[in-house]
Structure 1
Amino acid sequence: MTVISAPEQFNTDDLYVDLAGTLGRSLYLKCEGFNFAGSVKLKAALGMVTEAERAGRLHPWSVLVESSSGNLGVALAMIAASRGYRFVCVTDPRCNPTTHRLMEALGAQVRVVDVPDAAGGFLATRIALVRSLTEADDRYVWLNQYANPANWASHVSLTGPQVEAAFPELDVLFVGAGTTGTLMGCARYFHDRPRPVRVVAVDSAGSVTFGDRPTPRLIPGLGTSVRPPLLDETYVDDVVHVSEPDTLAVCHRLARRGFLFGGSTGTVVAGALAWLARYGDPATTAVALAPDLGERYLDTVYRPAWLREHFGDDVAAGAGAGAPDPRLPLPRFEVPGDGTGVDGPLPAERS
């Protein structure tokens, strides 16, 4: 029997889904959404808050403030409620309505910026508001998930070892790239292990993180309009960019088999499937991290009217059928720092 006294004390770390029967490809999905925050962001949020407390940055009168597209905001709202802090989340119109309401239910104040910065998009506008709040009132404490080492450190100490313990013969790990905290933590961990493991970053098409041309994106979670300061590309072996129609197709394909995952998970799985189709073989042991579950996407990813409005009848019909539209291209592969498509044999192992 598990007994807890604070919501952040509960997290299921050893649940994996074998997607072979669902998607026809051997791929194990590490489910990170089974905690009271509902996503992998609980680890980063808890790590950053704990480190800020240890360093004396947080006091009973402190007000946490953070820029978030949703999942980290929920995790911080939960921890703030548990530990007695006020919390202000700065987000933008892409934040799912359910996520917005969930943060407010936990006592957070949610501020939505609606004018994107000409160069840095909504993210730059969000960060500008966060900075203005902290400069105007010293009670405000910005944990800064985009540059805080405690973001990735939690995955060095938790996520990486958890995957390795479950799959000691692991060949490749697929990790979504948002702030790149999860990516950097896992990549740093496996970089120092004796067994070579390829760490593949999965990013949204239109994200600038790995040098892609910025374009508007509708599904929150992965991707950025400002390059994350945490990112160190020397730890990343490959990059896959996934279009939003491919994300939607995979989300609905999984849902047709009873697995309701979030948009970030759909993106990671789409990228993993395309990489494995090109580079994998039946002996490849592959794990993908599923950052979130799907309930928060019922008003967007899983709502036919939203799909038709933003992606058209063809994409909506393809998603509803639970199968990718064959007319859509596969996600693109890039070598970090290169920016060109990659074809041919499996890239050389990291030296």
Structure 2
Amino acid sequence: MPVISAPHAFNEGQLYVDLRSIFGRSLYLKCEGFNFAGSIKLKAAIEMVEAAERQGLLKPDSILIESSSGNLGVALSMIAASKGYRFLCVTDSRCNLSARLLMEALGSEVHVIADLDANGGFLGARIDYVRGLCESDDRYVWLSQYTNPNNWGAHYRRTAPEIARQFPQLDVLFVGAGTTGTLMGCARYFREWHRPVRIVAVDTVGSVAFGGKPGRRMIPGLGMSMRPPLLDESFVDEVIRVEEADTIRTCHRLARHGFLFGGSTGTVVSGAMDWLSRYGSNDLTAVAVAPDLGERYLDTIYQSAWLKDLYGDQILEEDAPEEVTAGSPSAGSRAQRTTNGHRKEYKRQKEYKK
């Protein structure tokens, strides 16, 4: 039985859900929401804070500041409260109300940006606000999750080794792309591993992280309105872009089976099932990373009025059937796919294995 004295000292890292009974295909979902921050962002948050402490950047009167769509802000709020720092989270109107209330309950300040940037998102405006405060007051310490190597380093040192220990015969890993910290940390680790692992990044339609046209994105978590500075596409074999409607349907399908996951998880699972419908086989070992649980989305993707206002009355009526047969496309998925040039085609798993 673990006994802890700081909230960030506990993080369940070896819980997986096999989704075969729900989707008809085996996909091991690594659940990262079982800690006091409620998401995978706890790993990056503690690594970035402790690195800043080691570098002497954080002093007793320092004010932590970060731009976040929700989960990292909650994780930093928890750590700041535990360590005695002040924290200001700069977010935007898409941030779930429950995440904002959690941050405030933990003693943090929350500033909500309402102005869109040039790409039709909020990120540029959020970063401009953070930079302005840092220039005006040297007490502010910006961890900069978008450029901080400890973001991806946390997953290189923790998340990827956790997966490797549990699945020594891993064939393909699906990781959602936001700041790309989780993606880059896992991809760098498995590039050095003893066997080839195909790294599939899952993004949301409307994100410009991997190029493409910017578009409306209402579900926080994945996607960027700029190219992520941490991203090195040479470590990524393929990119799948998922429509938000498919994210929502996947979340509701999981919920009907008792698993309440967040929007990022719905996006990753939807993209993974689309990929597996094309390349999957019975002897393929596939893992996907589930960044958080679904409680923070009760007033959005699990709220019928919000869904109908943004996506129309038919959003859930087009949901996938209960079973997906081997070899058939994943129902309802309209994922867009991009394959990296250094591995043009996956072909079949038996050809890809050593």
What residue in structure 1 maps to residue 149 of structure 2?
A: 149
Instruction: Please state how far the C-alpha of 1:240 moved relative to its aligned partner.
Output: 0.5
Shift of the 337–46 alpha-carbon distance from structure 1 to 2, 3 Å rule, reads farther
**Which amino acid letter does the alignment assign opposite residue 180 of structure 1?**
T
Query: Is contact 2:187-2:235 (8 Å) kept?
Result: yes
What residue in structure 1 maps to residue 207 of structure 2?
A: 207
Query: Is contact 1:198-1:349 (8 Å) kept?
Result: no
Counterparts of residues 107-186 of structure 1 (less than 5 Å):
107-119=107-119, 121-186=121-186
Instruction: Please state how far the C-alpha of 1:336 moved relative to its aligned partner.
Output: 3.8
Instruction: Please state how far the C-alpha of 1:118 moved relative to its aligned partner.
Output: 2.1
* Counterpart Cα distance in 2 of 1:146 and 1:96: 20
Shift of the 131–323 alpha-carbon distance from structure 1 to 2, 3 Å rule, reads farther
Percent of matched pairs sharing the same residue: 61
* Counterpart Cα distance in 2 of 1:236 and 1:137: 39
* Structure 1 SS opposite 2:127: helix
* Structure 1 SS opposite 2:313: helix
What residue in structure 1 maps to residue 336 of structure 2?
A: 332
* Structure 1 SS opposite 2:315: helix
- 1:76-120: CA deviation from partner (whole Å, max 9, x where unpaired): 000000000000000011100111111110111000000101236
Deviates more, 1:113-122 or 1:103-112: 113-122
How big is the alpha-carbon RMSD for the aligned residues of Structure 1 and Structure 2?
2.2
1:233 and 2:233 matched: yes
Counterparts of residues 7-156 of structure 1 (less than 5 Å):
7-119=7-119, 121-156=121-156
Instruction: Please state how far the C-alpha of 1:333 moved relative to its aligned partner.
Output: 1.0
Give the total of aligned pairs. Answer: 347
List structure 1 segments (4+ residues) > 6 angstroms apart after TM superposition.
Answer: 320-324
**Which amino acid letter does the alignment assign opposite residue 201 of structure 2?**
A
* Structure 1 SS opposite 2:268: helix
Report the TM-score, using the length of structure 2 for normalisation: 0.93
1:249 and 2:253 matched: no
- 1:256-285: CA deviation from partner (whole Å, max 9, x where unpaired): 000000000000000100011111111110
Report the TM-score, using the length of structure 1 for normalisation: 0.94
1:345 and 2:347 matched: yes
Instruction: Please state how far the C-alpha of 1:350 moved relative to its aligned partner.
Output: 11
- 1:11-67: CA deviation from partner (whole Å, max 9, x where unpaired): 000100011111111000000000000000000001100100011111111100000
* Structure 2 SS opposite 1:314: coil
Query: Is contact 1:237-1:350 (8 Å) kept?
Result: no
Instruction: Please state how far the C-alpha of 1:227 moved relative to its aligned partner.
Output: 0.8
Shift of the 150–287 alpha-carbon distance from structure 1 to 2, 3 Å rule, reads same
**Which amino acid letter does the alignment assign opposite residue 347 of structure 2?**
P
Tell me, which stretches of 5 or more residues in structure 2 are unaligned? 325-329
Deviates more, 1:249-258 or 1:329-338: 329-338
* Counterpart Cα distance in 2 of 1:120 and 1:59: 37
* Counterpart Cα distance in 1 of 2:197 and 2:219: 29
Shift of the 344–144 alpha-carbon distance from structure 1 to 2, 3 Å rule, reads closer
* Structure 1 SS opposite 2:195: coil
* Counterpart Cα distance in 1 of 2:39 and 2:50: 18
